[in-house]
């Protein structure tokens, strides 16, 4: 049972928009901790996709965007491409656990 | 170019020990807060623990499942992060990544099995 809750899977056709939710609580996202998103392609290490709620590292396409409100956050991907098929994880910090917490991960399938 | 290269993984029996290393380059390692994150086969990401930079106190924090068994340390003179793993359990089987959050290593596999 992960501290942050994500849907196990989402899917969309090429060119479409999908969103992945990340729900926390008052001890993590609701406490004001930033949310970060990672993309993990099959067989590879995670890659930082969004940091501090909505910022993109250099090289990440602007098709990826993040948002945060109250005790939840979302990752939006527009103009879906086959190469976006991956697992996506949200991550924050938690005051009661004194460290990072992750969502359980969401598998994106491009139909 | 930032590089994080883990090593030291392998097969170990329950109750055994192992030490992982993470060699860092391409950034000022001594200023970085470093974390270990693991991923059991077919499962999601799990934070293991973190060590702050010495200028920020050099203190460590651990996830509950590993507290008292796993120890994170650093050698800034060698730009290397360590994870000492003692009293290993089968549920510690995972790929272990070192990370600054922005950058991740390729991971090293630890298998705990009799």
Q: Tens digit of pLDDT for each residue in A66-111?
A: 999 999 999 999 999 999 999 999 999 999 888 999 999 999 999 9
Non-local (6+) Cβ contacts of B42 within 8 A are none
Q: What is the pLDDT of residue A39?
A: 98
The reply to whether residue A97 touches residue B102, judged by beta carbons under 8 angstroms, is: no
Coil, strand, or helix at residue B85?
A: strand
Closest B-chain CA to A48: B102
Task: Give the chain B residue nearest A55 (alpha carbons).
Answer: B102
> Is B42 in the A-facing interface, judged by CB distances under 8 Å?
no
SS3 label, residue B74: strand
Please give the pLDDT value at position B67: 97
Position B13 scores a pLDDT of 98
A53-67 pLDDT tens trace: 999 999 999 999 999
CA distance A89 to chain B (A): 8
DSSP annotation of B56: G
User: Is some CB atom of chain A closer than 8 A to the CB atom of B36?
Assistant: no
Q: pLDDT at position A97, please?
A: 85
* The pLDDT of residue A14 is above 90: yes
Measure B63 CA to nearest chain A CA, in Å: 7
d(CA B42, CA A46): 14
Check if the beta carbon of residue B39 is closer than 8 Å to that of residue B94.
yes
What are the start-end ranges of the H helices in A1-111? none
Nearest CA-CA partner of A89 in B21, B86, B3, B46: B46
Cβ-based contacts of A53 with chain B (< 8 Å): none
Any A CB within 8 A of B97 CB: yes
Q: How confident is the model at residue B107 (pLDDT cuts 50, 70, 90)?
A: very high
Angle at CA of residue A35, ends B56 and A81, nearest 5°: 130
Percentage of residues of chain B with pLDDT beyond 70: 100
Question: Which residues 63-92 of chain B have a CB within 8 Å of chain A?
Answer: 63-64
Whether B50 and chain A come into contact, CB under 8 Å, resolves to: yes
Indicate whether A1 pLDDT > 90: no
Q: For position A36, what pLDDT does the model report?
A: 98
With 90 as the cut, is the pLDDT of residue B82 above it? yes
Q: What is the mean pLDDT of residues A23-41?
A: 96
By Cβ distance, the residue of B44, B99, B104 closest to A105 is B44
High-pLDDT (> 90) share of chain A, %:
95
Q: Are the beta carbons of B46 and B97 closer than 8 angstroms? A: no
pLDDT exceeds cutoff 90 at B58: yes
Look at residue A87 in the predicted model and tell me its pLDDT.
98
Q: Which residues of A touch B99 (CB under 8 A)?
A: 46
Report the C-alpha gap between B66 and A93 in whole angstroms. 18
Indicate the DSSP class of residue A103. Answer: B
Q: From chain B, pick out residues whose CB is under 8 angstroms from the CB of A87.
A: 44
Query: Strands A9-12 and A18-23, how do they pair?
Result: unpaired
pLDDT at residue B92, as a whole number: 98
CA distances to A13, A16, A83, A89, B103 from B100, rounded to whole Å, are: 34, 33, 25, 16, 5
Residues of A with CB under 8 A from a CB of B: 2, 36, 38, 40, 45-48, 51, 57, 87, 89, 91, 97-105
């Amino acid at each position: 049972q992960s501290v942050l809750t994500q849907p196990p899977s989402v899917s969309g056709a090429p060119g479409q928009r999908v969103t992945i939710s990340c729900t926390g609580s008052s001890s993590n996202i609701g406490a004001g901790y930033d949310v970060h998103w990672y993309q993990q392609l099959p067989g590879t290490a995670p890659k930082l996709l969004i940091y501090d709620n909505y910022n993109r590292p250099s090289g990440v396409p602007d098709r990826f965007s993040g948002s945060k409100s109250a005790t939840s956050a979302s990752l939006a991907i527009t103009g879906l491409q086959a190469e976006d098929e991956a697992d996506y994880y949200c991550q924050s910090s938690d005051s009661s656990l004194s460290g990072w917490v992750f969502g359980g991960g969401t598998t994106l399938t491009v139909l | 170019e930032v590089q994080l290269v883990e090593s030291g993984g392998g097969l170990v029996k329950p109750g055994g020990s192992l030490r992982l290393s993470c060699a860092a380059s391409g950034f000022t390692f001594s200023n970085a807060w470093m974390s270990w994150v693991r991923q059991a086969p077919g499962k999601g990401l799990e934070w293991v623990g973190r060590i702050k930079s010495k200028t920020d106190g050099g203190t460590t924090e651990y996830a509950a499942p590993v507290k008292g068994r796993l120890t994170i340390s650093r050698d800034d003179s060698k730009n290397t992060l360590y994870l000492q793993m003692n009293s290993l359990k089968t549920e510690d089987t995972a790929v272990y990544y070192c990370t600054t959050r922005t950058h991740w290593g390729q991971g090293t596999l630890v298998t705990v099995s009799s």
